[in-house]
Amino acid sequence: MKPNRPSVQFNDATPQGADAKARAREAVARAKGQNVGRPRDLDLNQRFDQPIERPVAEPMPMREETQRGLEAMMETAKAQAAARAAREEEEQVPALEVPNSKLIEFVEKLIRRRDEYFSEDIATSVKEVAKALKLPEPPSKEESERLEWEASADLTPISIDAYIMNGFVHQVIPVIKDKLHVAFRTTLEGTEAFIETRLRDYRRDTGNQLTINELYRQQARLALAAQIVSFGTNKWPNLFDANGDVDAKVFDARLTLVRQIPAQIFPKVAQHLGWFNSRVDALLKDPEVLGNG
């Protein structure tokens, strides 16, 4: 006979689970013991498909100090915006240059001729009026500056007869009034060819790595070396040899003298040399001087 064994029981419950079930039963019991009223009429509740009516918040009164501070900030912002707009307008509008007397004379003459031949109601441009009346073009800024200077400068007259007879002409120029006088002389064809050769050699020696300003400055140096007769009280050596050709050694010596001109005065001397050549060219184009031939 087999011995009696205790029956096997399966119990998966744990102490934590039993405690949780106990708390759940207590919660259900408390809920049943409460007196909960019936729900009210749901017709008065807001429907989900209706817009939500939110109450409008009443504005709170602002303190006087805050109001004054905001007004001051607003005025400051307006002033800054106005100043910024004024600065932008000044930057966009270019400053007008005051014309010299030559330009003023041209404009006054143009206005008088326009009033004589054109109605004031007709909107006609200045160029159209000048072309119709066959008036000369207004001088450029550089040309106006030259004409103003020549009107007040004490220049010795250039003789076209001496130029034709001798093949050259010179003129003493007051580069700086009562301070510096420079005498210039016109060039010969052989001198121009010599300058062109020197300029070509200079460009070759520098490998053609020249800026426009460097090239113009070297051209000005060569022209001054060829055309200056005297600089102040110093008379420069004669440029030509016994055969009338350019002496290369003398030219190099003159070029050294050009390099010794102060940098601030060099542009003025070069400018007056250009003006001198322009006066000679204008003299050769003047029909009153050359006549019919």
Confidence band, pLDDT 50/70/90 cuts, at residue 157: confident
Lookup result for tokens 């207590």: 26
What pLDDT does residue 71 have?
A: 76
Please calculate the CA angle 68-73-79 and round it to the nearest 5 degrees. 125
Task: Tell me the per-residue pLDDT of 259-271, one tens digit each, with 9 for 90 and over.
Answer: 999 999 999 999 9
Extents of the domains making up the chain: 101-132, 156-290
Q: What is the pLDDT of residues 158-195, one digit of tens each?
A: 888 888 888 889 999 999 988 999 999 999 999 999 99
Q: Output 240 or 23, whichever has higher pLDDT.
A: 240
* pLDDT bucket at 148, cuts 50 / 70 / 90: confident
What was the pLDDT predicted at 238? 92
Q: How far apart are the first and last CA of the chain?
A: 167
Range with top average pLDDT, 70-74, 117-121, 207-211, 278-282: 278-282
What value does the mean pLDDT take over residues 214-219?
Answer: 89
- Say how far residue 32 (Cα) sits from the centre of its chain: 90
Sheet holding 180-185, edge to edge: 170-176, 180-185, 228-231, 234-235
At 17 the pLDDT is 67
Q: Is there a contact between 278 and 222 (Cβ–Cβ < 8 Å)?
A: no
Using one digit for the tens of pLDDT, what is the confidence trace for 44-63? 565 656 655 565 556 666 67
Residue 124 has pLDDT above 60, yes or no: no
Question: Rounded mean pLDDT of 235-247?
Answer: 91
Q: What pLDDT digit, counting tens, does each position of 9-46 carry? A: 555 556 666 777 788 888 777 777 666 666 666 555 65
180 DSSP β-pair partners: 176
Q: What is the mean pLDDT of residues 225-231?
A: 95
Q: Identify the CA nearest to 251 among candidates 292, 207, 193, 211.
A: 193
Q: What is the mean pLDDT of the chain?
A: 77
* Mean of pLDDT values over 270-285: 88
**What is the DSSP annotation of the chain?**
-PPP-PPP------HHHHHHHHHHHHHHHHHHHS-PPPP--GGGSPPTTS---PPPPPPPPPPHHHHHHHHHHHHHHHHHHHHHHHHHHHHHSPPPPPP-HHHHHHHHHHHHHHHHHS-TTS---HHHHHHHTTPPPPPPHHHHHHHHHHHHS--PPPPHHHHHHHS--EEEEEEETTTEEEEEEPPPHHHHHHHHHHHHHHHHHTTT---HHHHHHHHHHHHHHHHEEEETTEEPPP-B-TTSSB-HHHHHHHHHHHHTS-TTTHHHHHHHHHHHHHHHHHHHH-HHHHTT-
Nearest by Cα to 272 from 155, 128, 137, 168: 155
pLDDT digits (tens, 9 = 90+) for 186-215: 999 999 999 999 999 988 888 777 788 888
Tell me the average pLDDT across 148-156. Answer: 80
Backbone dihedral region for residue 129 (phi beyond 0: left; psi -120 to 50: alpha; all else: beta): alpha
With a threshold of 0.75, does the pTM exceed it? Answer: no
Residue % of the chain over a pLDDT of 90: 26
Contacts of residue 37, defined as CB under 8 A and 6 or more positions apart, other chains included, come to none
| Mean pLDDT to the nearest integer, 248-252 | 94
